[in-house]
Amino acid sequence: MLFLIIFTLLINVFALVTLTIDEQFQETETVLKLIQSQYQVFQSVQNATFYFQPFQIDQDKYLTVELIFGFPHDGDVDIEFSITKNKYDNISSQLDIFYDLNGKYLMKSYQIIQINPFTFDKNDKFYIDVNIRDTNLTDYQYLLKITKTQNKICPNYCGNSQSGLCDAEIGLCSCSSQFVDLDCSKKAYQITLKEPLQNIIIQKQEYFYFERDQLNSNITLNFGLMNSQYQTSNVEIFIMYENFELGVPCEKYFNTYVSVNNQSSKSELIDLAPLIYDQNLQRYQRLLITITAQQPALIYLSASISTSDSNFDIDSSLIIVYVLVSIAILLLLTWIIVIVIRYRRSSRIHDEATNVSHIQNNNNRRNSSSLNANIIDQYMPKLQYFQILEFPDFQDLDIQETCSVCLLEYQKTAICRFTPCHHIFHADCLEQWIMKHENCPLCRTALDYKTLKDLLNLNSLTAFKQHLQKNKIKKHNIVIQSHLFSNAQTELRMIHNQLDHP
């Protein structure tokens, strides 16, 4: 009745163009081109076909075609509503045919088809077919709307604020706790694990849903008929995983079917794994249930987790908790032990070198010029840790694996410096230390400007002397080889003379 009132108001307010599709019109075999955005249609023949053609500027928009029926009423609209792109051209394929399966299977008084942007151009024609399947054919009255929008339209605008809210970005309805279906038009009971639903009267059909959480992987649904004055012959139960094409289950589409007869009861184990978390709706997808009865029936309905599965889930959860806690405690104890060892080692080294450090620091401050970053880079350049280890001077040394300043382990690519006394530190740690103390953090060797310069010269002189020594040894070996060669020649001549003068 409400749709009929709205339908009449729209006709009167907007002065819509009226199309009468009857036998006389059908004989003309004319396919009407739709130019306006809305039409009032009276259809008294089985098939009606219209077409519309989008403009060039419409390519980036959603094309939406809606049928709003004034008669018949919701649940009695037995039609097949489809749109075909370029229907009478050879280029058309099955991918170019669009249906409203939700409206078709549920015989809804509101039906909608939407075509995505950038899937058509200005030369394409879209043919709208409204085929009445009702054997007792009556006059069908409906409002035909064609809309072009940047965003996807929510089906029937999700009813009202109490039944659901429209997400304009994706064109989906977020139904409230008491409603289901694509347009939130069906009132529904929520099934929970806490308490069963009892004394539910099924007049013709009712809708239910179960909303899973992260812990539940499967449930057992229990159905049964209750003793009452109703003479019930058969109750049919259709179960479906929520999707956004069909809305709710029905006799033409479902995932699981259950039948209950004569005060009997049934249990059905349902796998909830296909119900994934929907980021758009911010909830898990629902398990949807439709219960139909030819005669009024009084039923009960409950959901539970099987005992074995429940115990298994609890045991598994406890094991995981115990393992995680044990690992955390072990890591914490290891970290504390390492910190204590490093602290004691650092304190011992610090205590042993305190006196020497004070004397050296005083001498360094008197005899050296102030250090800065450029001087430190000149005498102790930055290198990656693995590059320092490749120096020959470090091949036979016990390599430091941790920085004595920050007590952190070296990474292979860490930026470090090494001192003339062959100790390695993080570059920034050593720089900050030297700016304050001007000595090696580990052995307290003076590292002021004068000492660094002297050590560099000393290292250069030592390298030069080693080079001279190597050359001297090389020349000595050449002289020895020359003498040996000369003696060998003399002996050969003597042997030769003896052979010539026996």
Return the pLDDT at 232: 63
* 430-471 residue pLDDT tens: 889 988 888 898 888 888 888 877 776 766 545 445 544 554
93-116 average pLDDT score: 93
Both tokens assigned to 95 = 């991918």
2-153 — its CATH code?
Answer: 2.60.120.380
The residues, any chain, with a CB within 8 Å of residue 463's CB and separated by 6 or more, are: none
- 67-71, 231-235, 347-351, 482-486, range with greatest mean pLDDT: 67-71
pLDDT tens string 323-337: 999 999 999 999 999
Average pLDDT estimate for 467-486: 51
Q: Check whether 231 has a pLDDT greater than 90.
A: no
Q: Which two tokens stand for residue 195?
A: 């308490």
What is the tens place of the pLDDT at every residue in 128-165?
999 999 888 789 999 999 999 999 999 999 988 889 99
**Domain limits of the chain?**
2-153, 173-305, 353-502
| Residue 300 confidence (pLDDT) above 60 | yes
When pLDDT is averaged across residues 347-367 and rounded to a whole number, the result is 59
The answer to whether residue 13 scores a pLDDT higher than 60 is no
Percent of the chain past pLDDT 90, that is, above it, reads 40
What is the structure's pLDDT at 78?
94
- How far is 275 from 340, CA to CA, in rounded Å? 51
**Which residues touch 264 (CB under 8 Å, ≥6 apart)?**
224, 225
- Please state which architecture CATH assigns to domain 353-502: 2-Layer Sandwich (3.30)
> How many whole angstroms separate alpha carbon 55 and alpha carbon 63?
11
- Rounded to 10 degrees, what is the CA torsion of 134, 139, 140, 146? 130
Average per-residue pLDDT for the chain: 83
Which pLDDT score is estimated for 393?
Answer: 77
Q: What is the pTM of this model?
A: 0.57
Domains 173-305 and 353-502 share a fold: no
173-305 — its CATH code? 2.60.120.380
